[in-house]
Structure 1
Amino acid sequence: MVTGGWLIVIFLIAIAILLITIIKFKVNAFIALLVTTIGTGLMVRMPVSDISKVIGNGFGNTLGSIGVIIGLGVMLGRFLYESGGIEVIADTFLKRFNGSKSRIAVAMAGFITGIPVFGDVVHIMYAPMVRVISKKTKVSIVSLCCATVCATVATGAMVIPTPNPMAVAENLQLDYGVFFLYAALAGLFGTIVGGLGYGRFLDWQDRKNHHEYAFEDIEDFEKESRTSTAGRKVPGFGVAVSILLVPIMLILFGSFGPMILPEGGTLVKILNFVGDKNIAMLIGVIYAALVSLPYLQKPVGDVMNDAAGQVGLVLLITGSGGAFGKMLQSTGIADFIAASLSQFHIPVLVLCFIIAQILRCAQGSTGVALITTSSMFAPLIAASGISPVLCGIAICAGGIGLSLPNDSGFWAINRFYKISVEDTIRAWTIGGFITGVAALVFVCILSVFQAHLPGLL
């Protein structure tokens, strides 16, 4: 095995292989991660048989711990989508916050539905609606787009049960309920600063520069929307939100209940059972299926099958990311890098953010950035004295911003919201970066009080 400074060189070569395969040759992230993992093992002269074992253990351990909850989380989001719950949540906020406050409405809708539903799905559903709102209220479409996408990515990258933050929580062995609570607060702060604050500035900027946008296709969308929703039965706002809240509340009860209840009691045992991440999500999916039944336009089994098809690639990428992380640990690269970086006296929270941000910016995938960073820094975080929960949130915050044209999400937002590349950079690239930095600032503030806040240490 190779030791010393060559480990840094090998790591840089490995990252270069990952970037080149994804960016230059457009290889799927699953294959790119496996190729990089094997290449890393060969470069440190690890026996081929050991390389195979490391990949198997890393892949299997990662999916063994979060594979079930990822699948159930996607099903939960699918029921919210198929029942019409997403439209109900959006419409409710729009009725409450209309006119000049429409930016708050789309941000709140994006923040809530971004938790269980994949970002691209939210963009597809919300973009036409946001454009209609922009036309009616005269609020800049770039401003509304910024509020929507920053809110969505804040929860999508930071809040369980979405796959990427779950992978971070598992790599750092975090309590899911505690992680959810503080990540949601950090995401909300990031949304307020990046989505609403910066979004307001974008609206002011467009008004000052008399920047106008075309909405020729809006009438066709409104006509199609009225036709598709006419006579359809949809759930109420409370029912729609409960689909999301039931599993989350069970996980929270399971995390914080034992902190305040007598140890060893029957109620504590019950909370530990129903609050387990897998049990809570299973209960949530069963509940979602039951309450969604009157509003579905297809059988429950078909909804679950659609979700299963959607989750396949997510599981492969997550598992291969776990294999790469295991290789970094097994070869000693992770420990050496952590020890080397600690000599620069960069605060651990900032370091977690920076590395995740660099990887996110370089290769375009939030998942790859978060899984790689959390795997690499797990030993450093454990020995740092800083709350692992806050470090995990800092990593997730680093996976948000500076989305460049090498990111498929960049073009999804550009295409669905029908804005220029320059406006996409203003709304999404810069807006997302501000959101991530704001979340990091919030985490740094929490770290000052970590000894006094429940669950952080």
Structure 2
Amino acid sequence: MPLLTVALGVVILLVLISILKLNTFVSLLITAFAVAILLGMPLGDIVTSIQGGIGGTLSSIAIIFGLGAMLGRVIADAGGAHRIAITLIDKFGKQRIQLAVVVASFIIGIAMFFEVGLVLLIPIIFSIVRELKVSPMHLGIPMLAALLATHGFLPPHPGPTVIAGQYGADLGTVLLYGIICAIPAVWIAGPLFSKLSKKIVPGAFNKEVDISSLGDQKIFKLEETPKFGISLVTATFPVILMMIKTIVDLIVQVAGLSQNFFLTFVDFIGTPAVAMLLSLLLAFYTMGIARKISVKSVMDSCSGAAASIGMMLLIIGGGGAFKQVLIDGGVGDYIAKLFADSTISPILLAWVVAAILRVALGSATVAAISTAGLVIPLLATTSDVNLALVTLATGAGSSIASHVNDAGFWMVKEYFGLSLKETFGTWTLLSTIASVVGLGMVLLLDVSLIMGGIVIILIIVAGLFGMLKHNHNNIKKDSKAYKNIS
């Protein structure tokens, strides 16, 4: 019955969003109330559960999400993102233009949400298309693969950030493993897949593009934009700080170092909220003050970013409410008991559940958060699972098979002038490949970490054995020398 109730809840959500065209946040709340009642929760507990779900979800990501949106907007409005893209494309040259687009999109995608990065990069991509006389999809597929991978795998994007908070995973570790998983996913779903896609839907590569739907585009003269180096550092500064913290934490664990002021300071500045705040302050200087741009202009960019993410925050909160109802209603415990004696990996289960919800609901973020409600109780019964890898598996599953119930599907279709069949043959397939490759990398990392741990243990044992043997030989020599002296 609990699983049937969840299925019915998904159907209700689909009907509300896709057929009745209700707002996603309102639809999530209605679904949460309906599922709670069907699960037999006491009426007095339902509101408390929903409020707790919204508050608990937003409390862990509102600061990161808000500051991340502001950072991306400040860099974009100052021309920093334009400088990064154009410089990389010039450096790589025409022969390696796809690689240039991948690198530029990946860097910009770290600092900006998928939709923002897409709207920002498309005019740049299309100007290069006109200059080099290549197909828009020849560059569009690598760009989309990079933006999708950063959206699904890397903090501070909402999906991985929220899931990491729900699972209790360290964000720095998620970021480190996420980059390892994202790179092959981007390459396979991007440049490599573009060659296959030309054979599947050749018509998609013969399109004339029209970006008038994006509205008036801000035109940048390259000499008026910030320098490449400072733009790159500003865009990736939160990643740098969180990576430093993660690496230092690993060194401390391996070396068994005691805590001191330096380690405490590194731990503090590498905390996601602090890293994002410091990065935004750096952007205020590098993208604003240092370039004689008024503080008011920079603050206008921040205000515009904050206003644009208001509804997204509500949707994330609504997803948190649905997730909490699933937990408090006992669905998670039921699934945990169902798989208690099963050999299925929590990593694989998280990917499967997230993939099913993604296909059903459309929103990657909502699918990921809802998955957490079903998987968390199972994690409580499993002591040896790597929470960072479960986070990435959930993110990978929530990226699969973008289709007609996903806003991203229609953005790609309209911006690239594709038919429905062509969008399925490019974007839907691309997102599926990225998801599957991401899962494969997560499973490979899981095995590698286990094998790596075994190797380290064997090295330590061998070292101890060598020390004991060396000491034993020394003792024998000392004993023999003592006898000779005697």
Question: Which TM-score applies when normalising by structure 2?
Answer: 0.85
Q: Equivalent of 1:308, from 302, 306, 322?
A: 306
Of 437-446 and 275-284, the range deviating more from structure 2: 275-284
* Cα deviations by residue, 1:148-196 (Å, 9 ceiling, x for unpaired): 1111010012100111111111011111111101012111110011112
Give the drift of 1:343. 5.7
Assess if the C-alpha contact under 8 Å between 2:83 and 2:222 holds in 1. Answer: no
**1:311-330, aligned counterparts within 5 Å?**
311-330=309-328
**1:19-418, aligned counterparts within 5 Å?**
19-203=14-198, 213-215=206-208, 228-230=219-221, 233-261=224-252, 262-293=257-288, 294=291, 299-341=297-339, 345-384=343-382, 385-418=384-417
Of 172-181 and 329-338, the range deviating more from structure 2: 329-338
Separation in structure 2 between the aligned mates of residue 147 and residue 281 of structure 1, nearest angstrom = 27
- Cα distance change of structure 1 residues 341 and 18 upon mapping to structure 2, 3 Å threshold: farther
Separation in structure 2 between the aligned mates of residue 74 and residue 312 of structure 1, nearest angstrom = 11
1:3 is matched with: none
Separation in structure 2 between the aligned mates of residue 137 and residue 341 of structure 1, nearest angstrom = 55
- Cα distance change of structure 1 residues 409 and 212 upon mapping to structure 2, 3 Å threshold: closer
Equivalent residue letter for 1:129: I
Assess if the C-alpha contact under 8 Å between 2:204 and 2:418 holds in 1. Answer: no
Of 139-148 and 315-324, the range deviating more from structure 2: 139-148
- Cα distance change of structure 1 residues 130 and 142 upon mapping to structure 2, 3 Å threshold: same
Give the drift of 1:349. 2.2
Q: Secondary structure at the match of 1:229?
A: coil
Give the drift of 1:389. 0.9
Give the drift of 1:98. 2.8
Give the drift of 1:420. 2.6
Q: Secondary structure at the match of 2:224?
A: coil
Give the drift of 1:326. 1.3
Separation in structure 1 between the aligned mates of residue 125 and residue 297 of structure 2, nearest angstrom = 30
Q: Secondary structure at the match of 2:315?
A: helix
| 2:450 matches 1:451 | yes
- Cα distance change of structure 1 residues 210 and 183 upon mapping to structure 2, 3 Å threshold: closer
Assess if the C-alpha contact under 8 Å between 2:400 and 2:434 holds in 1. Answer: yes
Separation in structure 1 between the aligned mates of residue 209 and residue 408 of structure 2, nearest angstrom = 24
Equivalent residue letter for 2:258: E
- Cα distance change of structure 1 residues 321 and 258 upon mapping to structure 2, 3 Å threshold: same
- Cα distance change of structure 1 residues 212 and 111 upon mapping to structure 2, 3 Å threshold: closer
Assess if the C-alpha contact under 8 Å between 2:89 and 2:100 holds in 1. Answer: yes
Separation in structure 2 between the aligned mates of residue 212 and residue 306 of structure 1, nearest angstrom = 35
Assess if the C-alpha contact under 8 Å between 2:12 and 2:31 holds in 1. Answer: yes
Separation in structure 1 between the aligned mates of residue 18 and residue 414 of structure 2, nearest angstrom = 20
Give the drift of 1:345. 4.0
Identity of matched residues, %? 30
- Cα distance change of structure 1 residues 440 and 340 upon mapping to structure 2, 3 Å threshold: same
Equivalent residue letter for 2:447: V
- What residue ranges of structure 1 are gaps of 5+ in the alignment? 1-5
Assess if the C-alpha contact under 8 Å between 1:254 and 1:275 holds in 2. Answer: yes
Equivalent residue letter for 2:17: I
The alignment covers a number of residue pairs equal to 443
Say which one has the larger Rg.
Answer: 2
Assess if the C-alpha contact under 8 Å between 1:193 and 1:435 holds in 2. Answer: yes
* Cα deviations by residue, 1:291-316 (Å, 9 ceiling, x for unpaired): 11027586122111111101211211
Q: Secondary structure at the match of 1:115?
A: helix
Separation in structure 1 between the aligned mates of residue 423 and residue 84 of structure 2, nearest angstrom = 25
Separation in structure 2 between the aligned mates of residue 453 and residue 56 of structure 1, nearest angstrom = 43
- Cα distance change of structure 1 residues 29 and 216 upon mapping to structure 2, 3 Å threshold: closer
Separation in structure 2 between the aligned mates of residue 82 and residue 142 of structure 1, nearest angstrom = 26
2:434 is matched with: 435
Assess if the C-alpha contact under 8 Å between 1:100 and 1:139 holds in 2. Answer: no
Equivalent residue letter for 1:419: L
Separation in structure 1 between the aligned mates of residue 125 and residue 423 of structure 2, nearest angstrom = 15
Assess if the C-alpha contact under 8 Å between 1:79 and 1:288 holds in 2. Answer: yes
2:478 is matched with: none
* Cα deviations by residue, 1:115-167 (Å, 9 ceiling, x for unpaired): 22122222222223323433444543323221111110100121001111111
Assess if the C-alpha contact under 8 Å between 1:30 and 1:316 holds in 2. Answer: yes
Give the drift of 1:341. 4.5
* Cα deviations by residue, 1:361-403 (Å, 9 ceiling, x for unpaired): 1121011111111222012234333311111101101111211
Q: Secondary structure at the match of 2:450?
A: coil
Alignment RMSD: 2.4
Q: Which has the higher helix share?
A: 2
Of 338-347 and 320-329, the range deviating more from structure 2: 338-347
Assess if the C-alpha contact under 8 Å between 2:242 and 2:272 holds in 1. Answer: yes
Equivalent residue letter for 2:85: A
- What residue ranges of structure 2 are gaps of 5+ in the alignment? 454-486
* Cα deviations by residue, 1:308-354 (Å, 9 ceiling, x for unpaired): 10121121111121121111111111121233256664333222212
- Cα distance change of structure 1 residues 441 and 274 upon mapping to structure 2, 3 Å threshold: same
Assess if the C-alpha contact under 8 Å between 1:235 and 1:295 holds in 2. Answer: no
Give the drift of 1:216. 7.1
